[in-house]
Amino acid sequence: RFQISRMTVRKAIGELVAKGMVYTKQGKGTFVSAPKLDDVVFELDAFIKGAEERGLSFQTTLLEAKIVRADAQLKAKFQTDDDSLRFLYFVMVLTAEGEPLAYERKYTIYTKRKPILETELQEPSLTKIVSQHTDQMPISSKKVLQVSVATEKEAAILQIAPGAPVFVLEQTLYNSEGKPIGWSKSVYRGDRYQLTAYDGWHGEEE
């Protein structure tokens, strides 16, 4: 009727299944999936790209870098009881046109034989930093986004009023065994970022 080969139909159905738009039941047929309306995807890590697209001058400033022992919080984040572990801890602020937009704290397991270069620590990508300063490769990442209010310290660094709304993004990187090897907490100004989510089916923008 439509003069389309079975192979073409199978390929089209396969693509729709891969996108989650349809699903198949053996012996019954192919059915349309219900749109996923509860999933929110956020990409606040695209700070540099967003700044450059708006023609803004982007800069990272390293505020602090040191080697620290594992306290209770780090042991919990890295799922370890090893008191001998040391962590590379650093703090940076990300600015565009001289205006501070994000304040970040990052941790990765410290490897003694790897030199610490300030230029590398200014790299805003936690994945790249972990790859450079550990013997392990990040395989997966978990991100948790919360809406909060700025503490006095965060407000001073971001040049906003204490209690002003902010986005707080926590990221954990895992190795091939599912063990945490990197953790960061980033605070983004609420008046300079917006969270966008799409409901239903949508394709990637060209």
Give the domain CATH number at 29: 1.10.10.10
Q: What is the CATH number of the domain that holds 176?
A: 3.40.1410.10
- pLDDT over 60 (residue 200): no
Q: Are residues 145 and 105 in the same domain?
A: yes
State residue 19's pLDDT score.
Answer: 63
Q: Are residues 170 and 96 in the same domain?
A: yes
Distance CA 91, CA 103 (A): 8
Q: Are residues 76 and 128 in the same domain?
A: yes
State residue 107's pLDDT score.
Answer: 93
Q: Is 80 a member of any domain?
A: yes
Residue 196 near residue 113 (C-beta atoms within 8 A):
no
Q: Is 200 a member of any domain?
A: no
State residue 141's pLDDT score.
Answer: 87
Domain span at residue 102 reads: 47-189
Distance, CA of 166 to chain centre: 16
* CA-to-CA dists, residue 132 to 61, 95, 103, 194, angstroms: 19, 24, 22, 31
- pLDDT over 70 (residue 198): no
Q: Is 199 a member of any domain?
A: no
State residue 150's pLDDT score.
Answer: 96
State residue 40's pLDDT score.
Answer: 46
Least confident of 44-48, 143-147, 170-174: 44-48
Question: Where are the strands (E) in the chain, listed by range?
Answer: 22-25, 29-32, 58-69, 86-96, 99-109, 140-149, 165-174, 180-189
State residue 47's pLDDT score.
Answer: 57
Q: Is 102 a member of any domain?
A: yes
- Per DSSP, 130 falls in state H
First to last CA, the chain: 33
Of residues 96 and 147, the one with the higher pLDDT is 147
Q: Are residues 53 and 30 in the same domain?
A: no
Of residues 153 and 56, the one with the higher pLDDT is 153
Q: Are residues 57 and 28 in the same domain?
A: no
Q: Are residues 71 and 31 in the same domain?
A: no
Residue 66 CB burial class (10 angstroms; 0-12, 13-18, ≥19):
exposed
- Which single residue is written with the structure tokens 């396969």? 14
Stretch (H or E) spanning 7: helix 6-18
Average pLDDT over all residues of the chain: 79
Q: Are residues 32 and 126 in the same domain?
A: no
Q: Are residues 177 and 77 in the same domain?
A: yes
Counting Cα atoms < 13 Å in the Cβ hemisphere of 84 gives 2
Q: Are residues 59 and 19 in the same domain?
A: no
How many percent of the chain have pLDDT more than 70?
A: 72
Distance CA 47, CA 106 (A): 16
Q: What is the pTM of this model?
A: 0.69
Q: Are residues 111 and 151 in the same domain?
A: yes
Q: Are residues 79 and 99 in the same domain?
A: yes
State residue 4's pLDDT score.
Answer: 73
